[in-house]
Structures are given as structure tokens and as C-alpha cells.
A and B are shown apart, each in its own frame.
Chain A
Amino acid sequence: MKVELHGVTKRFGGQTVLNRITSTIEFPHTLALIGPSGGGKSTFLRLLAGLIAPDAGTITIDGEPIPGESPALRRYRARIGIVFQAFNLFPHLSALDNIRLALTEVHGLSPSMATTRAMDALARFQLADHAHKRPATLSGGQRQRVAIARAIAIQPKFLLFDEPTSSLDPEMTAEVLELLATLRSENRTMILVTHEMGFARHTADLVAFISGGSIEEVDAPERIFGEAKNPTVRNFLARVLRY
């Protein structure tokens, strides 16, 4: 996958969150975005997801620019699987219906086909027994796995994860990371924002360090974590990896 950014700027109110980023990032399967909180990682991911539009600049993915206006932008979003930190699922729908909703209403599948595909996705992640449960009766880890099943079920071009384990306890985090590692081993294309440095180091093909509204460094994980050129990156990693 090849992500090209040209002069990308995003402001919220008076604050510039991403500042004129021009960069080309190319990686085979998995890109991890790391860096301090408030540095612009999540905003960057939301731009790639087509959830927000840049105030200036263009983004192209595999040579195709992200459309600026709905409904083209909506069609673009529909082809991407997105998993957020928490509150992904609709609380009034069962796990199964959470997955079926996009399949029937956005992707035009028949109800029975949608059910089959949703059940397949749930079964793959050992969630078949929970198909008819509402999110409130599932554990945090199960909820994230359902959210990932929902993202997979639409057969997306690529997957985006925004700190998918940040609101989970260590055991549930392990449960979700294991699933992500499985997706990685299937060579799915994915980009994830994560604070799990160990995970980024061992599963990502490429790591981008985002801080202060710009991409400070992009390199293979062993280089970023071993011999980062940029002092900001070195300091950050020294601090977070200390304990």
C-alpha cells in the first residue's frame, strides 16, 4: 500500500493538529503509527478513513485521491474497515445485527446473505455463541473482537485501527492483539495507531512516528526502535520503554 500526502494540513478551532505534511509512505501490509498523545496520530488516521477532510492538501492511496465530497466520500468510507478505541458497536443491536447493518443497508446484500457472512465473521473469531447478545452483555475484549469482525465482514480494501486496545485491561488487550496478529499473518493491509510498542515492533512492516503535527520519522521497526535518527523519537521511545 502506498499513501501519498501532499501539503496536508488539519486544524481544529485555532489549533493546527497536522501541519503541511508531505510524505510518501509505502509498506507491504502493516503500518503502525506511534508517538505522543495529541501529536496528530488519530487525526491522521481519521483523514485516511475519510471521516474528516483536510483543510489543505491532498491524500492519495495507491494512486487514488480520497474524494472530498459525499456521496463519493461515503462510498470510499464504506470500503474501509475502521475500528475505534471504544464505543464502536451500536448498543441497541445484537452482535450479529451490528455486523449485518452495513452489509444490508450499505453493501446491498440480501438479509440471508448478510446473516451468513456475519455469522462466518463471528465464527472465525470464536464469537458465534455471542451472536445474539447486545454489546452491554459482552466483555470489553469481546466487544472489540465483534467490532473487528464487523470491519472484516464488509471485505474491506484495508483496515484502520485507532488505539483498539487503549480502553482494555491487559488480559483483554492480549486477546485483541492476538486477533490482530492473526490478521497480520493473513497479509491483510492495515494501519494502526497504537501505544503497544511491543506489538508495533513485532508485527508492523513499517513504523511512522508522528509528533507535533508532523511525521518525524518513517522506518522499519527494528531501525525505529534500535537506532532512530531523530532525537525526538529516541527520547520518546527511551521514556516509554524504560519500565
Chain B
Amino acid sequence: MIAPLFFDRPQAPSPRWVRIATVLVLAAALAAICWGLLAASTSNWSAIWRYRAVFWQGWLLTIGISLAALALSTAAGVLLALARRSTFLPLRSLALLYIELIRGSPLLVQILFFWYVVADHFNITDRLLVGTLVLSGFSSAYLAEMIRSGIESVGASQLESARAIGLSPFQTYRFVIFPQAIRQVLPSLAGQFASLIKDSSLLSVIGLPEFTQGALQVNSATYSTLESFVPLGIGYLILTLPISALSRLLERQFHYES
């Protein structure tokens, strides 16, 4: 019997050839299914190829927005996490309110609200600016909670040691708490960056010419849905798969160190 070989248990791992065979067989089967679907449809790849610049520019803008939002939301997330731990009650309550509101409502609703209500009220017409800020604000609430848990994972004995050698509260954060918290938070931070990239697709609803908006435009110009949206999915996977691999690597590394 060959079936037991496919059960991969820690104490009895599958042989290497079984692992490789599994991947190959599954890949072939999935490819066959896709091929069947594609062959059945009248595909129009040449029309899509003419619009490759739209895809390319949208993809680059998605990367740009995600990077900017990552930087902004990390900075805001650190400040929010500190505010959330502040002994000054009004500041702490305000941070908690912000985090709960943002985490409690859908990103799509936030985009619509900030673009059609807030930006409109203040006559701000820069979609890129508003889109990036909304995405950053959204992500910062999640990052704040991750960073806070990272800060709180640093033990009380470490803080006492820091006080004992005469470090100021600022120096304690700078030299003792943050370096340890970052290590703890880095895997989830990488995961959050992958989420950020995916979430940025929602910015297409306000007409920001990012990747998803680009695919929508190509679709309406060529009437080829599959040919527009398959590259869209692949484009996101090219960005997110390496990040989740990195996230897993960091997780393992942290695991060994502690």
C-alpha cells in the first residue's frame, strides 16, 4: 500500500520523493483544470497585451502606495501604541477609541467616508493622498495593537534592570524595549504588509489608478474579464507570496532565538 506514505506526521515524516510527487501531481491536476477552463473560453490575450502599460503602471502604483502606507502606518502605529500605554488618561482613551473605531469598521466604508465626506468637505481632490492616508490610518490601528503586545512582552525584570543601571524612560524604550519588541513583532509586521498590499485594491472604488482599477479599466475597454482579472490575481500573488515566506522565516528565526 502506498496510501500511508501520504500521511506526514512529525514522528513519521513522508519520504522526500512523496513530497515532490505530491506537489508535481497537484500542480499538473490544477494546471489541467485551468487549461480546460481557458480553452473553453474564447480568450483574447492579444487585446490585453496592448494594455500592458495600464497593468504595469497600476502595479507600480500599488507597490508605491503600499510602501508609503507601511512607513506611515508603522510610525503612527508606534505612536498609537505608546498613547495606548500612556498614564495620561485622555490620551489613552482617545487612542483606544481610534483603534476600536478603525478596527470595528470595514476598510471600504472608511475609504468611502473619508473620500466622499471628509475630503469633499475640505475640498481635497488628491485621490492618491487621501487613499494613502486612509490605508495608513487603517493599518496603523492594527499595527498599534501588535506593537503594544510586543512592548508588553518585555518582562518587568528587564525594566527593573534598565532602571537599575540608570537608564531614563526614553533610553529604556530606545535600548531595551524596542529592540526586543521589534523582534517579537517582525513576523506579524511582515504579515500586515501583505494585508496592506491586498487591502490597497479597495482604493479602486475612489478611482485611484492602482492595480485593481487598472484591471477594471482594461476589462471595460476589452470586455475580456478572465484575461483582465487573472493577471490581476497573479500580480498580487507575486507581491504577497514572498512576503508570507519572509514572515514565516522571521517567525522561525525568532523561535530559535528565544
Give A residues with C-beta under 8 Å from B.
49, 51, 70-71, 74-75, 77-80, 82, 84, 86-92, 101-102, 105-106, 136, 150, 154
Contact = CB atoms under 8 A, between A and B. Distances in A.
Closest 4 CB pairs of A and B: A78-B166, A87-B157, A102-B165, A82-B164
Contact of A84 (B160, B168, B176, B180): B160
Interface in B142-170: 155, 157-158, 160-168
A101 B180 CA distance: 15
Interface of B: 155, 157-158, 160-168, 171, 175-176, 179-180, 183, 257-258
A92 B183 contact: yes
Contacts of A79: 166
B179 A74 contact: no
Contact of B166 (A77, A88, A92): A77
13 contacts: A51-B163, A70-B168, A74-B163, A74-B166, A80-B164, A84-B157, A88-B157, A90-B161, A92-B180, A101-B165, A101-B167, A102-B165, A154-B165
Contact of B165 (A75, A92, A106, A136): A106
A87 B164 CA distance: 13
Given A87-B155, A87-B158, A88-B161, A106 B167 contact: yes
A49 B171 CA distance: 19
B166 A90 contact: no
Contacts of B168: 70-71, 74
Nearest to A77: B166
B166, B167, B180, B183: residue with the most chain A Cβ atoms closer than 10 Å: B166
Contacts, number: 60
Contacts of A101: 165, 167, 175
Given A87-B155, A90-B158, A101-B175, A78 B180 contact: no
A75 B183 contact: no
B163 A89 contact: no
A153 to B, nearest CB: 10
Nearest to B256: A136
B161 A89 contact: yes
A92 B167 CA distance: 16
Contacts of B258: 91, 136
A87 B162 CA distance: 11
B257 A51 contact: no
Contacts of B175: 90, 101, 105
A154 B160 CA distance: 17
A87 B258 CA distance: 13
Contacts of A88: 157, 161
A77 B165 CA distance: 7
A157 to B, nearest CB: 13
